[in-house]
């Protein structure tokens, strides 16, 4: 495999979220939707990254009086829990969710590819024009597409909880310019309690990529410890899309 393994596998895990190349103004108008993990119509499904990797275990649980909670238990593992957005939605949209973890991943640092783990991630996949990217990036897309047998997301934005950088820091992927991480929580403050996060996806995309976002084609969550070889547990709930002015 010519492309770095962790990047290619993570990218391929999101392939089925892709709708095909599209300009930023493509996609359906924003429509509010509740992406409950216990709602069949939301389309959530577990997505392994590779037979070479252990899967994170995702299970529906109750947490106190809260139902529809997704518990992610990672043990030297990495895999995704994903939902397509069909039809793809024009950005801007506002994405909000609740999440909780009792501990950060020991030794993790998302600035380093061999320590790139997180107890909590919420992932947004975007469509776009691959032909407009630099030649080397187009080659990466071509390799990933050949491995997958279909298109891969044009861009990915990962919201993470970390302890190595301040909130608001954009962390570029070590493997490709088309994956960016944004720290929306940092450090031990808030551990063990539910935290609510709300993000303007278009503004975050512009900050991370310096360009207008294409349509949102899917969302995912991921708790991973495959690089550090450790354990982590994360809880997710209340994922929802709202629209400005509605």
Tell me, what's the pLDDT at 132? 85
State mean pLDDT over 151-170: 92
CA 170 to chain centre: 14
What is the model's pTM?
0.90
CA–CA dist 198, 200 (Å, integer): 7
The token pair that represents 97 in the structure block:
């969710």
pLDDT, average across residues 77-94: 90
Mean pLDDT comparison of 13-17, 115-119, 137-141, highest-scoring range: 115-119
Q: What is the pLDDT of residues 225-241, one digit of tens each?
A: 999 999 999 999 999 99
Q: pLDDT-based confidence at 215, cuts 50/70/90?
A: very high
The dihedral region occupied by 168, where left means phi > 0, alpha psi between -120 and 50, and beta the remainder, is: left
Residue range 5-242, CATH number: 2.60.120.200
Distance CA 233, CA 224 (A): 9
- Mean pLDDT, the chain, rounded, equals 87
- Sorted by where each begins, the domain ranges of the chain are 5-242
Residue 22 has pLDDT above 80, yes or no: no
pLDDT per residue over 168-214, tens digit each? 999 998 777 889 999 999 999 999 999 999 999 999 999 999 999 99
Identify the weakest region by mean pLDDT among 19-23, 26-30, 144-148.
Answer: 19-23
Strand 57-63, strand 66-75: pairing: antiparallel
Of 148 and 7, the one with more pLDDT: 148
């Amino acid at each position: 495999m010519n492309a770095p393994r962790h990047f290619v596998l993570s990218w391929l895990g999101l392939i089925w979220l892709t709708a095909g190349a599209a300009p930023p103004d493509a996609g359906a108008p924003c429509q509010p939707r509740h992406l409950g993990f216990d709602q069949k119509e939301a389309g959530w499904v577990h997505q392994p990254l590779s037979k070479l990797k252990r899967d994170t275990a995702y299970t529906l649980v109750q947490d106190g009086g809260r139902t529809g909670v997704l518990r992610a238990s990672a043990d030297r593992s990495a895999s995704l829990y994903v939902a397509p957005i069909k039809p793809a939605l024009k950005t801007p949209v506002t994405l909000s969710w609740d999440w909780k973890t009792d501990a950060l991943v020991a030794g993790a640092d998302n600035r380093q590819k061999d320590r790139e783990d997180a107890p909590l991630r919420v992932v947004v996949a975007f469509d776009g024009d691959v032909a407009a990217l630099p030649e080397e990036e187009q080659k990466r897309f071509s390799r990933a597409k050949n491995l997958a047998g279909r298109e891969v997301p044009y861009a990915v934005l990962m919201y993470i909880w970390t302890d190595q950088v301040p909130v608001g820091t954009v962390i570029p992927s070590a493997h490709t310019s088309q994956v960016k991480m944004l720290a929306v929580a940092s450090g031990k403050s808030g551990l063990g309690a539910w935290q609510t996060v709300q993000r303007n996806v278009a503004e975050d995309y512009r900050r991370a990529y310096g360009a207008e976002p294409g349509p949102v084609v899917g969302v995912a969550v991921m708790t991973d410890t495959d690089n550090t070889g450790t354990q982590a547990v994360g809880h997710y709930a209340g994922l929802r899309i709202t629209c400005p002015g509605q």
